[in-house]
Amino acid sequence: MIIAGLTGGIASGKSTVSDIFRKAGATIIDADIIAREVVTQGTPAYAEIIHAFGDIILQPDGAIDRKRLGDIIFNAPEKKVLLDAIVHPRVFERMERRIAQTAETTPGAVVILDIPLLLETRIPRKLAEVILVYVPETLQLKRLMQRDAIDKQAALARIHSQMSIEEKRSQATVIIDNSGDREQTRQQALAVLSRLKKG
């Protein structure tokens, strides 16, 4: 089994690239999806989040209001630290379980760990490659504002809560440049996957 990490800045195109990898047969383990699973109602993380942030971050149905929680943590670094400390250990634990399951069911799999904060958190696991989906910050800002229908200030708060994309670029071992059209990105992603398969 080959395990590689996939990362990038917010709205740089990680989901776009992981969809291409998935369609080409890779097994994707997505940290954003797992981060949602571990905070559903009734979980210990859900209780800890309410304890740390108060009922104000709940929707009327009792689920976590992600927009509200995002507005809080992306504008206050000390609050982000609190949330990260609750969510991240659970995400990594569950990811390790998924990796172990995949190793049993599909020992020949190419496994891609899609982790937005891979370089910020430095997961304790050896990766065959650290693949970065790159776009310059100006394009990242434009795509984020468009996709999430948010203003420049809110978008910059999110971008600046992460390591800069240029710093990430200097730490990655493989770069997929997503500043062109989707077909150009697809070609690069398929070439990366084919190299990974060869080992």
Ligand X SMILES: Nc1ncnc2c1ncn2[C@@H]1O[C@H](COP(=O)(O)OP(=O)(O)OP(=O)(O)O)[C@@H](O)[C@H]1O
- What are the binding residues? 11-16
Exposed, middle or buried by CB within 10 Å (0-12, 13-18, 19+), for 168? buried
Binds ligand X (CB under 6 A): choice among 12, 27, 165, 193: 12
Name the minimum Å distance from CB 52 to ligand COD: 12
For residues 39 and 64, what is the distance between their CA atoms, to the nearest angstrom? 8
- Binding to ligand X (CB under 6 A): which residues in 120-149? 143, 147
Residue 73 touches ligand COD, criterion: CB under 6 A:
yes
For residues 79 and 129, what is the distance between their CA atoms, to the nearest angstrom? 31
Q: Which does 168 bind (CB under 5 to 8 A by kind): ligand X, ligand COD, none?
A: none
Question: Annotated binding site for ATP, which residues?
Answer: 11-16
Dihedral sign from CA coordinates of 62, 68, 73, 76 = negative
Dihedral sign from CA coordinates of 106, 124, 93, 49 = negative
C-beta of 90 vs 143, nearer to ligand X: 143
Would you tell me which residues interact with ligand X (CB under 6 A)?
8, 10-16, 32, 116, 143, 147, 178, 181-182, 185
